[in-house]
Structure 1
Amino acid sequence: MGRDRKKYSEAGVSTSKEVERRKKKMKMKKQMRRRRITTLIITLIIGAIIGGGIYIYSFLSGLNSSSLPGAVDPIGKNPVNILVLGMDIGDADQAESEVGRRTDTMMVLNYNPTTKKAKIVSVPRDTMIEVNGAVGENGKLQKYWKMNAAYAIGGDEEVTNQIQDILEIQINYLVKIDYNAFRNIIDAIGGVEMYIDQDMYYDDDGQDLHINFKAGETVNLDGKKAEEFFRWRKNNDGTGFANGDLDRIENQQKFVKKVIEKCISPSVVVKIPKILNVVKASLETNLDANQMLKYAMQLVKLSKEDVTMATVQGETKDIYDQSFFIYDKEMNLELLKSLHSGEGVDSSDKTDMVDISKIQIKSNLKIMVLNATSINGLAGKVKDKMDNLGYGNIETGNTEHQDKSVIMTENKEIKDFLKTDTDIKKVEKLSKKDYQNYDVVIVLGKDYDLSGE
């Protein structure tokens, strides 16, 4: 009997230990399952992020248009300037054709990565410009034109050059949008609410444009209505904006502010896939995917207070039986300064900032100096001179002999101090096809040893 109790007792101890082991084993299995599930979830999340990133990158890559002029990346932390062109339909009977198309709206988005401020500058479409070699409707050479004719005369390049000359900046990137794209994008963000402060009624059967807004209304503008609001300038009876295109620009800027407010609101986040699809089908740009992601991430962090609007200043005059807007540089000095150094900079600091910026630019430039003469070592001497002036990345070489020295670059911001530092006055556009790894190519011609070296 005692032995049986002992056996029973031993058996009981053994069973209790076994149960304990099983509990531990089951607990370990559960922990392993949880770890596997957690690992799987983390893997799926990482995969989704990577997959989404790849999708967005490939999506943005599809926006880049090879038909547009080459982009000019800003140097260092210089402000970036993106020219946005709103295109009209041109010939209504040939809507798909570029023939006769004009720029109905021209805006420059200036973003300063140092101050983290953005400025949107409008250039009136009636601004007088000079174009050499352009022929008017009468078949004769015509020197003076309105800015909105620049595209029809010389395409993207002519518009870009004219805007650069007026604002004294380098246009880095170009974005083109027509009114069909404009409507689709506004629809994609869910429309924009606007207060109508004056009666607007206008009809143009040729463009199928019919505008009808009443003063005092607050209207949620869908794409079609937004286009009508954006384009309105005068009524059928001739009444409308007292200052023509200048007041129209002010009206457009009110609308753009509302669009910016809408785009940075949480309600737009859920609409991003739809917006991306619309943007892909609507825009032309020479920004590549990396640049789009980079600037999008910076701009989305801005508050509405970080974005200001401006219009170039001047006066309206009747010349050659046409109403022209005459740009006045003296009236725009503060605007021109702000495009280079940003807002909120004391005037006493601006000279120092310009000098520091110039030093940074010189040290970052990649330059090739080519000797096109029979003078041995000329390129090396010029390199030494430029090294002493702060240029830090210069290569030298030889090329076929030529008479004239020339600086070749695509960057408008640097040509003036390069001309001063090299004593070379001739500047040409750099062919990226031949010199894609360089910002500047300097060719020393036979005239160089006569001009100060």
Structure 2
Amino acid sequence: MRADKKKKKRKWLRITGFILLLLLISVGAYLFTVYRSLTNAVDTMHEPIERPQREITFKKREPFTALMLGVDEREGDKGRSDTIIVLTVNPEKNSVKMLSIPRDTYTEIIGRGTQDKINHAYAFGGVEMAMDTVENFLDIPIDYYLKVNMEGFQDIVNAVGGITVNNDMEFTEGSFHFPQGSIDLDGREALAYVRMRKQDPQGDFGRQKRQRQVIQGVISKGASLGSLTKFDNIFDALGHNVKTNITFSEMVDIQSNYRKAASNIEQLKLEATGSYIGGVSYQLVSEEEQQRVQKEMKDHLGITN
């Protein structure tokens, strides 16, 4: 009797072990597929630039900055950066500050020696001139950039399965109607949602808020467990529509050492006044307001000068 029980026990141990082995092989194959898709996407996304850059040691959890540019690229035209968002990331404070700069902000375009709309910097000199100009405007180092093709941004929203945002005001943009309150958006709807500006009493500031909502929605949805099964679509959408000078190894270090900061994003507002210069509409930022924002971002980065 005991011998039979021992045989049955050994049989079940073998079956259990075999099942566990199959699970390990399946998980390993899945992780390898995820890793391969991710590295392929990052290789496609990676676009280094010729520009002096600080050395950031992510393993030491040093604060850093990133410039996000939303660009409407058309064939034969590099376009303008109609979305300009600066992120300061401080893992010791477990926080990220997100500042939108109005695209019509009147400032010096570094490298041209002229005053113009800040979004013209990208049109004149690409990512490098945009980074130099924003760096000068905020008086903080700009370490990294993320350039997003806004036409392709809808692919990213669709890849994560759509997003949910809290809409402050009811409006219609094109063929899309957006009621007030919590709404679900697919890619085409999200693009229309962030592009509306003329109907908003806050003008470009309201548009910037919707842009930040959509970006946060994508980050939140993309990080959820439910998106794991969609990784291939997500990586493919990112690879085709995002360019950055952040390398794969740096992304791994950021994910490992900075992920808690991403859960605490504070949105900053830059006050500006609309005005016409030479018949052209601009957003003018006072010296006091510029210094206020500079100080807040410097404090967050731990910059004392």
Q: What's the TM-score, normalizing by structure 2?
A: 0.81
1:101 aligns with 2:76: no
Answer whether contact 2:47 2:243 (CA < 8 A) is retained: no
Q: Aligned letter for 1:106?
A: I
Structure 2 equivalent of residue 37 of structure 1: 18
- CA offsets 1:210-256 (integer angstroms, 9 cap, x no match): 3543654764221111111101111xxxxx23443223223333444
Structure 2 equivalent of residue 230 of structure 1: 194
Q: How does 1:188-337 map to 2 (within 5 A)?
A: 188-198=159-169, 200-201=171-172, 210=174, 212-213=176-177, 216=180, 219-234=183-198, 240-297=199-256, 300-302=259-261, 304=263, 306-337=264-295
SS at match of 1:190: coil
Structure 2 equivalent of residue 176 of structure 1: 147
Q: Structure 1 residues 61 and 227 mapped into 2: Cα distance closer, same or farther (>3 Å)?
A: closer
SS at match of 1:342: helix
SS at match of 2:93: coil
Structure 2 equivalent of residue 339 of structure 1: 297
Q: Structure 1 residues 60 and 324 mapped into 2: Cα distance closer, same or farther (>3 Å)?
A: same
Higher relative contact order (CA 8 A, sep 6+): 2
Identity %: 24
Q: Structure 1 residues 57 and 227 mapped into 2: Cα distance closer, same or farther (>3 Å)?
A: closer
Answer whether contact 1:64 1:289 (CA < 8 A) is retained: no
Distance, in Å, in 1 between the alignment partners of 2:222 and 2:167 is 21
1:55 aligns with 2:33: no
Distance, in Å, in 1 between the alignment partners of 2:269 and 2:99 is 5
Distance, in Å, in 1 between the alignment partners of 2:132 and 2:107 is 11
Q: Structure 1 residues 44 and 169 mapped into 2: Cα distance closer, same or farther (>3 Å)?
A: same
Q: Structure 1 residues 47 and 213 mapped into 2: Cα distance closer, same or farther (>3 Å)?
A: closer
Distance, in Å, in 2 between the alignment partners of 1:241 and 1:233 is 5
Distance, in Å, in 2 between the alignment partners of 1:331 and 1:337 is 10
Return 5+ residue gaps in structure 1 as ranges. 1-18, 90-94, 135-141, 203-209, 235-239, 344-352, 356-415, 417-453
Q: Structure 1 residues 132 and 292 mapped into 2: Cα distance closer, same or farther (>3 Å)?
A: closer
SS at match of 2:284: strand
Aligned residues: 302
1:115 aligns with 2:93: yes
Return 5+ residue gaps in structure 2 as ranges. none
Deviates more, 1:308-317 or 1:61-70: 61-70
Distance, in Å, in 1 between the alignment partners of 2:175 and 2:16 is 63
Q: Structure 1 residues 219 and 66 mapped into 2: Cα distance closer, same or farther (>3 Å)?
A: closer
Structure 1 equivalent of residue 63 of structure 2: 79
Structure 2 equivalent of residue 375 of structure 1: none
Bigger CA radius of gyration: 1
SS at match of 1:160: helix
SS at match of 1:271: helix
Distance, in Å, in 1 between the alignment partners of 2:146 and 2:262 is 22
Flag as ranges the 4+ runs of structure 1 deviating above 6 A: none
Q: Aligned letter for 1:292?
A: M
Q: Structure 1 residues 291 and 198 mapped into 2: Cα distance closer, same or farther (>3 Å)?
A: same
Distance, in Å, in 1 between the alignment partners of 2:94 and 2:84 is 23
Structure 2 equivalent of residue 166 of structure 1: 137
Answer whether contact 1:60 1:292 (CA < 8 A) is retained: no
- CA offsets 1:281-337 (integer angstroms, 9 cap, x no match): 221111111122232345654575x11111333333221212222233422445333
SS at match of 1:126: coil
SS at match of 2:152: helix
Q: Aligned letter for 1:277?
A: D
Answer whether contact 1:183 1:223 (CA < 8 A) is retained: yes
SS at match of 1:96: coil
2:102 to 110, 113, 124: 124
Q: Structure 1 residues 286 and 220 mapped into 2: Cα distance closer, same or farther (>3 Å)?
A: same
Answer whether contact 1:79 1:340 (CA < 8 A) is retained: no
Deviates more, 1:67-76 or 1:306-315: 67-76
Structure 2 equivalent of residue 88 of structure 1: 72
SS at match of 2:288: helix
- CA offsets 1:125-162 (integer angstroms, 9 cap, x no match): 0111223775xxxxxxx822101111111111110001
Distance, in Å, in 1 between the alignment partners of 2:216 and 2:69 is 17
Answer whether contact 1:72 1:173 (CA < 8 A) is retained: no
Answer whether contact 2:146 2:242 (CA < 8 A) is retained: yes
Q: Aligned letter for 1:293?
A: V
Q: Structure 1 residues 133 and 115 mapped into 2: Cα distance closer, same or farther (>3 Å)?
A: closer
Answer whether contact 2:109 2:118 (CA < 8 A) is retained: no
Answer whether contact 1:111 1:119 (CA < 8 A) is retained: yes
Q: How many angstroms does 1:178 deviate by?
A: 1.2
Root-mean-square deviation (Å): 3.5
- CA offsets 1:60-93 (integer angstroms, 9 cap, x no match): 542343464466542554312111110013xxxx
Distance, in Å, in 1 between the alignment partners of 2:140 and 2:78 is 28
